[in-house]
Chains A and B, each alone.
Chain A
Amino acid sequence: MGENFPDWLTKPMIRGIKSFNIDSYLLALEGWRRGLNLTWYYDTPHDTDIKLIGFNPIGKIYSLSSEDKKHYFYRSRGDKVPNKAVDIASSKDETKQHLASNGVNVPSGKNFDSSFTSEEIINESLSMGYPLAIKPTLGSLGNGVFTDVNSKEDLEYAVNYIRNELDYNDVLVEQHIEGEEYRVYVVGEEVVACTLKEAPNVIGNGTDSINNLIEQKNELRKQNPHLSRKLIKIDNQLKKQLDKINYSLDSLLESNKKIYLNTVANTSIGGESNNLKDEQIPSSVKHEAIKAISVFPKLDHAGLDIIVRENQAYVIEINTTASFLQHIFPLKGEPINVCAKIIDHYYPETKDVSINSKVYFNYKKVSDLLKDRLVQSVEITNLDSNNTYVKRYIISGKVQGVGYREWARREASRSRINGYVKNLKNGNVVVIAWTSSNEKLMEFEQKLWQGSKKSSVEQVKELKWDKQINVGFEIR
């Protein structure tokens, strides 16, 4: 089964890249395709103070530059986003207070710092009334977030878990808002992407068991590069949830009946993502998102979590280093190229540059070089033209074990040919070759007939190639 990729990406381009690094890679790729210079760094360079968050920044710090300006990026965040905004947004409590005092709708609640005992937190929370949401104030990635808490037992569990298991001191308790959950990405003053999130669910067809329906859902998820490893897990929690609504895994679900398998709309546990078209985005979401962003001075782009209840939008969280993968790889709806919007914002002069969405660079090589700490920075070879002539060649004869690939690489480098050369199992050699001049490509094709000293080429078959093409020339 092939996976679903937007038309500007293919699977080999992101093969082997860990999910936390994909945001960095995709944003860098967009800039690089527009002709900007791209450099990756091991550490924050001296001429920027861009703030790093989380662990292991390798493969996540990069710069894009044109002749007259240079911007640094960390993951999805560029240096136009002030560090102050990053600081505020990293504390859910501060974010909330800042938003509330500027008239943005947020759920009511209270932050409990280390001066409160767990008992005090629980007692005071009880007075707020159910349902509650409980989370670590400084947490990220949905770690330790408990929503729709409706009993003292669950409340106690949540508080103890956050404090004792996750080792956070500060606990944020707020009213749980039951409603539609949205993930929004804002660039400048525009909501460029809005994804409706739904808790994991299945819809009956009158013939399949819930177990089968879950399997079908997972099959669908497997085709999505972002969700292929975020499947609905059949575990005790799920069984308990089914039990609650009087179903079991073997129950036959009646036609068009929709049941939820979890209360949390998180994609990592099987939640669904549905990209909305611009006209489908509720105006309250747009309005509240823009308003929230604008109370942070100069916050040029960010991701927001918003919940809508009875046409009223509440801002739950602002993420200044938000992943935009769910907008690029939604389960439903059209993919939205958030990267293009961000690059438009930093380099408006490149907005109309025609790009070749087949080209990519070898990110794995970059991150390997940086990981081994031999280099401080790596600059990617520039694209010299968007005009590309591409061919695939199958070379047969005595071409393996005779230095043909090394020879081809040397010749390609001399002639400025990009692509790769690879041995095939049937004894032939395949070459993908591309360059900006048809004449040069033809010259190279002629050269392929010569081969290395020990080789003897019988045939060079010319074929079409319309898939992805890498910069540089590699032996594979």
Chain B
Amino acid sequence: MLVLKYAKNERVYYMEDNYKWLPQLENSIPKSAYGYGVSIYSIALEGWRRGLQLSFSNLYHKGSQKYVLKYTLSDGNNSVSFRHTRSSKVSTKAVNICVDKDLTKQYLKKAGVPTPEGKAFDKGTDFTELNKIAHEIGYPVTIKPVDGKGGKGVFGNINSDHDLNESIKYLIEDLGSENIIIEKYITGEDYRVFVVGEKAVGAFRRLPANVVGNGTDTIEKLLADKNAKRVEIPGMYKKPITITREVHKMLRSKGYTMKSVPSKGEFVALKTKNNVSSGGDPIEASHELTEEMKNIAVNAVKAVPGLVQAGVDLIVNHDENYGVVLEMNSKPSIRNHLYPMIGEAPDIPKELIDYYFPETINKGYVSDKPLFYFEYDPVKQLVLENNVKELLISNHPTGAFIVKKIHLLGSFKEDITINWLKKLFNRYKLHGSVEFLKTTSVELKITANEENYNEFIMELTNKKSKNIIVESFEIEDYNEPISIGFNLKESKALVKENKNLKKQLEKNRKELNKLKQQYSKKRILKFLKINKE
């Protein structure tokens, strides 16, 4: 049973695995794209699977003195570049407006989009003046740097001149903020809404770091299990939920310790902050928003000329049915949308590509075709090593395909077999992976068109050379996505086998030394014996 209360997260019940992620991304995200890269990868993949040309480039941005990863999708005539999730169709002016929270506020106000009343000031402003502004707005207030990112330096629910002044001092002295906003603190639920064109295509909110009881395990165990699961989620930070002093404090306040066993389905919050990076869970929340609220988000994006798409931070007070826009992010991550812990993930990559390449709607994803994806490592290398400036990814394969898992049995010298298979992959336009299970067994997961596939099988059938002998092979149907080109999977089994062989070798060597010593000892003894006699 799923019960979600809007306002407070004190007791939220949810069933385990009550989520549905995008099926076309299952087993299609390479490990190297996990985390921050998921937003980039999922959008690029969607465009590429529809037959668009995809390139990645690493550009040096002279202004910020930084390299920026850019990817471009093109149908030959129309070409759209992205930085993270933001397309080149978003104007520079719009980007600059979003960076400046005060300017954003002004645009929103002008367009009649609700936003908390507030005012910006610079760090030179004296405190009597500031307190006056706060009184005009009315406590409680929020303060934040005008150009802050990722919630850094945001202080909410400030209720006194003293607290206000302390927080401002901290912003100026510790964070080096130049310009600061004071605004009305609004109570409600925090939502992040992703808007493309005139559509709110997804919304999530965050639960604080938590565990849900199963009636038998301790909080400690539940947390360990949850952390182990979290690192396997493509959209998650690799950071596990850490056990801080805050966690202990939080548990104590509820009369719990790490050893307590919560009842089945009981939601135990571990932290107060709803930050995903501090271990919070994103949950899909579109259904919690009324059309009216979604429209506020859409209108916010419309209010900034040239914005086209953005992540909108919306606070909704459900009890009083109002919503306000706090700020907008022109290149928000979409990983929390794609991998919610509760609810069904919205297909944001699809919405984006539909919007920029409407002629490709309904292209790709034909049911009799395998799902292809591409390795992301070279793209990461592009950024890290910078010896290559641009990579044009091979086009998505077209045509009819046979997909099989082939298990080769025989005897295989690793490097020579790899070169042989690489050549065959090239000759017969095969895609897929090669994994050495043992030196006597190799597993292929491949796809090709029928003609090439048959030729390839012929090659396998007749293979007998000094270093490669195919004695037999088994063919099975295979339905998982295939990575394009030749992919050598690192073989854990072979690594283990190598290790064991090395161990055995070392053992043998010791044995040999021992025998040698014994032998020479024997000889000496014999020699002594002879001498005695």
Q: Is the CB of A472 within 8 A of B387?
A: yes
CA distance A406 to B67 in the complex (A): 17
User: Which positions 385-434 of chain B face chain A at CB distance < 8 Å?
Assistant: 385-395, 422, 425-426, 431
Return chain B residues, CB-CB under 8 Å to A365. 387-388
User: Which positions 25-69 of chain A face chain B at CB distance < 8 Å?
Assistant: 39, 42, 58
Query: For the complex, is A10 an interface residue (Cβ under 8 Å from B)?
Result: no
Nearest CB of A to B425, in Å: 7
User: Which positions 406-453 of chain A face chain B at CB distance < 8 Å?
Assistant: 409-410, 413-414, 416
Q: A372-B486, A416-B60 are in contact. Are A470 and B394 (CB under 8 A)?
A: no
The one of A369, A374, A410, A414 in contact with B484, judged by C-beta atoms closer than 8 angstroms, is A374
Q: Is the CB of B391 within 8 A of A381?
A: no
Q: Is the CB of A380 within 8 A of B394?
A: no
Category for how many chain B residues contact A: 20 to 34
Q: Is the CB of A472 within 8 A of B487?
A: no
Q: A369-B378, A416-B60 are in contact. Are A375 and B387 (CB under 8 A)?
A: no
Q: A413-B383, A414-B66 are in contact. Are A373 and B388 (CB under 8 A)?
A: no
CA distance A371 to B426 in the complex (A): 8
Query: For the complex, is A111 an interface residue (Cβ under 8 Å from B)?
Result: no
Q: Is the CB of A371 within 8 A of B486?
A: yes
Q: Is the CB of B395 within 8 A of A376?
A: yes
The one of A376, A381, A410 in contact with B384, judged by C-beta atoms closer than 8 angstroms, is A410
CA distance A376 to B374 in the complex (A): 12
CA distance A362 to B378 in the complex (A): 14
Query: For the complex, is B485 an interface residue (Cβ under 8 Å from A)?
Result: yes
Q: A369-B378, A413-B67, A416-B60 are in contact. Are A374 and B387 (CB under 8 A)?
A: no
Return chain A residues, CB-CB under 8 Å to B65. 416
Query: For the complex, is A474 an interface residue (Cβ under 8 Å from B)?
Result: yes
Q: Is the CB of B393 within 8 A of A375?
A: yes
Return chain A residues, CB-CB under 8 Å to B385. 409, 413, 472-474
CA distance A379 to B57 in the complex (A): 9
Q: Is the CB of A42 within 8 A of B387?
A: no
Query: For the complex, is A241 an interface residue (Cβ under 8 Å from B)?
Result: no
Return chain A residues, CB-CB under 8 Å to B390. 39, 377-379
Q: Is the CB of A373 within 8 A of B426?
A: yes
Query: For the complex, is A14 an interface residue (Cβ under 8 Å from B)?
Result: no
Return chain A residues, CB-CB under 8 Å to B422. 371-372
Q: Is the CB of B391 within 8 A of A413?
A: no
Return chain A residues, CB-CB under 8 Å to B484. 373-374
Return chain A residues, CB-CB under 8 Å to B217. none
Return chain A residues, CB-CB under 8 Å to B383. 413
User: Which positions 357-377 of chain A face chain B at CB distance < 8 Å?
Assistant: 361-362, 365-366, 369, 371-377
Q: What 0/1 readout, one digit per residue, does chain B (465-497) give for beta carbons within 8 Å of chain A?
A: 000000000000000000011110000000000
Query: For the complex, is B443 an interface residue (Cβ under 8 Å from A)?
Result: no
Q: A42-B394, A373-B484 are in contact. Are A474 and B387 (CB under 8 A)?
A: yes
**Residue from the set B57, B391, B395 with the largest chain A CB neighbour count within 10 Å:** B391
Query: For the complex, is A316 an interface residue (Cβ under 8 Å from B)?
Result: no
CA distance A99 to B425 in the complex (A): 43
Return chain B residues, CB-CB under 8 Å to A379. 57, 388-391
Q: Is the CB of B485 within 8 A of A372?
A: yes
Category for how many chain A residues contact B: 20 to 34
Q: A409-B384, A413-B383 are in contact. Are A373 and B389 (CB under 8 A)?
A: no
Query: For the complex, is A21 an interface residue (Cβ under 8 Å from B)?
Result: no
Q: Is the CB of A374 within 8 A of B393?
A: yes
Query: For the complex, is B375 an interface residue (Cβ under 8 Å from A)?
Result: yes
Return chain A residues, CB-CB under 8 Å to B394. 42, 373-376
Query: For the complex, is A386 an interface residue (Cβ under 8 Å from B)?
Result: no
Q: A380-B389, A413-B67 are in contact. Are A373 and B384 (CB under 8 A)?
A: no
Return chain A residues, CB-CB under 8 Å to B389. 379-382
The one of A366, A371, A413 in contact with B386, judged by C-beta atoms closer than 8 angstroms, is A413
CA distance A382 to B387 in the complex (A): 9
Query: For the complex, is A471 an interface residue (Cβ under 8 Å from B)?
Result: yes
Q: A373-B426, A375-B393, A413-B67 are in contact. Are A362 and B485 (CB under 8 A)?
A: no
Q: A375-B394, A376-B393 are in contact. Are A366 and B388 (CB under 8 A)?
A: yes
Nearest CB of B to A86, in Å: 24
Nearest CB of B to A365, in Å: 7
User: Which positions 332-383 of chain B face chain A at CB distance < 8 Å?
Assistant: 374-375, 378, 383
Return chain A residues, CB-CB under 8 Å to B485. 372-374
Return chain B residues, CB-CB under 8 Å to A413. 67, 383-386
Nearest CB of B to A359, in Å: 11
CA distance A410 to B383 in the complex (A): 9
Nearest A residue (CB) for B390: A379
Q: A42-B394, A371-B426, A374-B374 are in contact. Are A381 and B486 (CB under 8 A)?
A: no
Nearest B residue (CB) for A474: B385
Return chain A residues, CB-CB under 8 Å to B391. 369, 375, 377-379
Return chain B residues, CB-CB under 8 Å to A472. 385-388
Nearest CB of B to A37, in Å: 8
Q: A413-B67, A416-B60 are in contact. Are A374 and B388 (CB under 8 A)?
A: no
Return chain B residues, CB-CB under 8 Å to A375. 378, 391-394
CA distance A416 to B395 in the complex (A): 31
Q: A372-B487, A373-B484, A375-B378 are in contact. Are A381 and B66 (CB under 8 A)?
A: no
Return chain B residues, CB-CB under 8 Å to A39. 390
Nearest CB of B to A436, in Å: 12
**Residue from the set A372, A377, A473 with the largest chain B CB neighbour count within 10 Å:** A372
**Residue from the set A381, A410, A416, A474 with the largest chain B CB neighbour count within 10 Å:** A381
CA distance A374 to B485 in the complex (A): 5
Q: Is the CB of B392 within 8 A of A374?
A: no
Nearest A residue (CB) for B374: A374
CA distance A39 to B378 in the complex (A): 16
Return chain A residues, CB-CB under 8 Å to B384. 409-410, 413
Q: Is the CB of A380 within 8 A of B388?
A: yes
CA distance A365 to B395 in the complex (A): 20
Q: Is the CB of B426 within 8 A of A378?
A: no
Nearest B residue (CB) for A41: B392
Going nearest first, the 8 A-B pairs with the smallest beta carbon separation are A472-B387, A373-B485, A379-B390, A377-B392, A374-B485, A376-B392, A381-B389, A472-B386
What are 11 pairs between A and B in contact, CB < 8 Å? A42-B394, A369-B391, A372-B486, A373-B426, A374-B374, A375-B391, A379-B388, A379-B391, A413-B384, A471-B386, A472-B386
Q: Given contacts A409-B384, A409-B385, could you give 14 more A-B pairs where the C-beta distance is less than 8 Å? A: A42-B394, A365-B388, A372-B487, A373-B425, A373-B484, A374-B374, A375-B393, A376-B392, A377-B391, A380-B387, A413-B67, A413-B386, A471-B387, A474-B387
